[in-house]
């Protein structure tokens, strides 16, 4: 009997279109002898749809096609099963059932623990990071603070809330002044380089902060690495067991890898500000970015990147297939960890290809890890049989909390 895998993608996120590309790439590579693939698409207005047509990239050019020919559903637990039930209609029939959820989502409201929290609440096994790892993996400020505690090498940084900046700009700028220009300004919880800019002076810094605040309430500012070489590596597994992919060297004409570099191609992206996704694209996702695999690194540096990646993955308690990005000063060969992508674009399958591990095998290992983690999670104690409520009631309970009109205060 096949395992029914609900692939969840889309969502209310600036990386919505990127998620669609990544999910369709993955669904086309899943082993259909083992798995029954159930696409679950979340629109930008948070409606959930399912139907086989959602495996075709062309249908996303017209949202009316999806609304007219696929089923608007909710996912919940019922009688021992995880069902996708129609939201509309007289009988609100069950359209499908799934055994495992496979979120292939990017960005806020989906990759950041929000979706994972819902899945864990209803109790379904799901692929990838748990709630805690998803939250910290999406929030660059949390992420860097955890890695700082683990003693991992990073560039100097500060972070602050938008309200702090609006109420006392001078105090925030005083903290930032301890950093050395040029600086990179980022919204703390977005991905795909959205809202990021590089500042060579205070005027550009102010513009960059104003740009980043449009996307997030938490802003991080960090030093740019001199003589920059950017490399990435993927880590597959969980806190117990990990595999490391080949290391790639990212090739970009910009000071950081822009949205355009990653997903659109055909020229340099704008370093200042976010690059908007086009209404229609034939992008191959992160697989289309310019890169050199394997990266041209001295053996000592290669080993250092691998060791830091392993420690960073475990420090966050991540799971699934994460891509970890590094910054290297080519002159000194100093290595700095930059960030983790808990659910990376294209699931970073191209980094495994270089090690002779195909995408289908990567997906299979991710699902197997999910099953093992789920069995381990349900073996733990999460609730107790108690008589607290009975004792509470016998001591006056709710009656003692009522006001003169019988309402709870």
* Backbone phi, psi, residue 216, to 5°: -155, 160
DSSP 274: P
Residue 403 confidence (pLDDT): 54
3-class SS letters over 114-141: HHHHHHHHHCCCECCCCHHHHHHHHCHH
The number of CA neighbours under 13 Å toward the Cβ of 407 is 2
Please report, to the nearest 10 degrees, the dihedral formed by the alpha carbons of residues 256, 185, 225, 142 taken in order: -110
Pick the closest to residue 160 from 218, 104, 211, 200 (CA basis).
218
* Count of other CB atoms within 10 angstroms of residue 92: 12
3-class SS letters over 328-340: EECCCCEEEEEEE
Whole-model pTM: value is 0.86
pLDDT in tens, 122-175: 999 999 999 999 999 999 999 999 999 999 999 999 999 999 999 999 999 999
- Do 144 and 154 contact (CB within 8 A), yes or no? yes
Mean pLDDT of the chain: 88
Instruction: Compute the distance between CA of residue 186 and CA of residue 113 in angstroms, rounded to an integer.
Output: 20
- Do 111 and 341 contact (CB within 8 A), yes or no? no
Per-residue pLDDT band for 393 (boundaries 50, 70, 90) equals: low
pLDDT in tens, 55-109: 999 999 998 889 999 999 999 999 999 999 999 877 789 999 999 999 999 988 9
Per-residue pLDDT band for 205 (boundaries 50, 70, 90) equals: very high
- Domain boundaries, given as residue ranges, for the chain: 3-126, 128-153+225-251+290-376
DSSP 286: G
Strand partners, 228: 329
pLDDT in tens, 269-301: 333 333 333 333 345 655 556 889 999 999 999
Region at 203 (left for phi over 0; alpha for psi -120 to 50; beta for the rest): alpha
The CATH fold of domain 128-153+225-251+290-376: D-amino Acid Aminotransferase; Chain A, domain 1 (3.30.470)
The CATH class of 3-126 is: alpha beta
Q: What percent of the chain has pLDDT over 70?
A: 84
């Amino acid at each position: 009997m096949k395992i029914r895998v609900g692939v969840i993608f889309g969502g209310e996120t600036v990386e919505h279109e990127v998620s669609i590309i990544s999910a369709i790439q993955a669904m086309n590579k899943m082993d259909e002898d083992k798995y029954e693939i159930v696409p679950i698409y979340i629109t930008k207005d948070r409606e959930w749809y399912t139907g086989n047509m959602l495996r075709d990239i062309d249908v996303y050019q017209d949202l009316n096609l999806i609304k007219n020919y696929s089923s608007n559903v909710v996912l919940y637990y019922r009688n021992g099963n995880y069902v996708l039930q129609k939201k509309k209609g007289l009988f609100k029939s069950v359209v499908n059932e799934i055994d495992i959820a496979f979120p292939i989502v990017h960005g806020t409201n989906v990759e950041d623990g929000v979706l994972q929290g819902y899945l864990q609440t209803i109790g379904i096994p799901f692929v990838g990071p748990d709630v805690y790892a998803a939250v910290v993996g999406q929030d660059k400020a949390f992420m860097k603070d955890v890695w700082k505690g683990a003693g991992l090498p990073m560039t100097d940084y500060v972070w602050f809330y938008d309200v702090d900046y609006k109420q006392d700009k001078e105090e925030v700028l005083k903290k930032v002044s301890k950093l050395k220009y040029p600086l990179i300004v980022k919204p703390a919880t977005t991905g795909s380089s959205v809202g990021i800019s590089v500042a060579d002076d205070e005027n550009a810094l102010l513009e960059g902060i104003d740009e980043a605040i449009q996307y997030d309430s938490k802003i991080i500012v960090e030093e740019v690495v001199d003589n920059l070489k950017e490399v990435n590596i993927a880590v597959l597994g969980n806190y117990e067991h990990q595999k490391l992919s080949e290391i790639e060297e990212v090739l970009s004409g910009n000071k950081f890898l822009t949205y355009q570099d990653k997903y659109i191609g055909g020229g340099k992206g704008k370093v200042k500000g976010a690059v908007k996704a086009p209404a229609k694209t034939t992008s191959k996702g992160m697989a289309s970015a310019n890169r050199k695999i394997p990266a041209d690194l001295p053996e000592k540096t290669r080993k250092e990147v691998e060791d830091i990646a392993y420690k960073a993955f475990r420090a966050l308690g991540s799971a699934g297939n994460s891509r970890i990005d590094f910054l290297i000063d080519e002159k000194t060969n100093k290595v700095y960890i930059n960030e983790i992508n808990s659910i990376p674009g294209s699931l970073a399958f191209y980094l495994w290809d270089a090690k002779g591990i195909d995408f289908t095998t990567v997906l299979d290992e991710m699902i197997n890890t999910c099953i093992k983690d789920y069995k381990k999670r349900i073996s733990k104690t999460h609730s107790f049989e108690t008589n607290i409520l009975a004792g509470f009631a016998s001591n006056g309970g709710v009656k003692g909390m009522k006001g003169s009109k019988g309402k709870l205060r």
